[in-house]
Structure 1
């Protein structure tokens, strides 16, 4: 069965208030873990073009282990078919991606704290160059409506009673925008 990862993302305005609100909901956050992601796109694709139906790769390194993920957006950039696997050699995986017609786009470095609220995964991220974010995500069957699930996740986030700013861009787009603004 094909899996679909569906998420909503928020810029965190008041980090301490959010952490308290999550604790009130019974969410226990992990200690921070450094994640270093290299994003990949097909060589023919560029920022500003639609992402729907386009496969994107990510090679993540956490504590010396490497995870390769492919996401293909469906309803929007945050409702994607997803496949992932552990890889033994990040350098070889990078070379394989280049041979398959992908190119590296941006690097995303973040400290991530994770928790759970029922069947939903929560990530409180501090993303280098772009700041703090909350992600709420779940995995569903490919047949489920991404927009309907996102509405449920958004309702839960709004029920926390803290100031959050919903964003619809992925981390690679946010990092790319920050880099462009510095240039």
Structure 2
């Protein structure tokens, strides 16, 4: 009797007995870190990334039968994740730190066309962050990894919101130049 229950539950969820669930889980787990990094490049806040990853995984599973070739899973997952990021961005459109949709699409396309660049970019960015003075590195991490709002940072640092935006803009440009130089060499 215990054998029938899982099959019945699986069938209610739309899982075929052919091993689609197992195949999906293997593919998803094999590529989850790459996919998470991809989403993190488009959304700096970890909580946002978690939410988009959750939404993307549901969509990926619900459309898994559309995947024709397992070797194309990550490219397919990038497309789904990009759409989920765009949908999430529409919900969060009031936040000034979110990237322009056209820029977001460009970044997503570049990353999805060459997955190796993701690893190279991640290493270069990590090295460039390490080169920043501690105070600047902390500001970048607090803003983009911890998801603090600029107004909160300004209050904590006893600075104007505008000065924080200017500082972050300069640091982004500095990191961008450093990453480009690192990737070029």
| TM-score, structure 2 normalization | 0.28
* Structure with greater contact order relative to length (CA < 8 Å, sep ≥ 6): 1
| TM-score, structure 1 normalization | 0.28
Higher Cα radius of gyration: 2
| Higher-helix-fraction structure | 2
| Higher-strand-fraction structure | 1
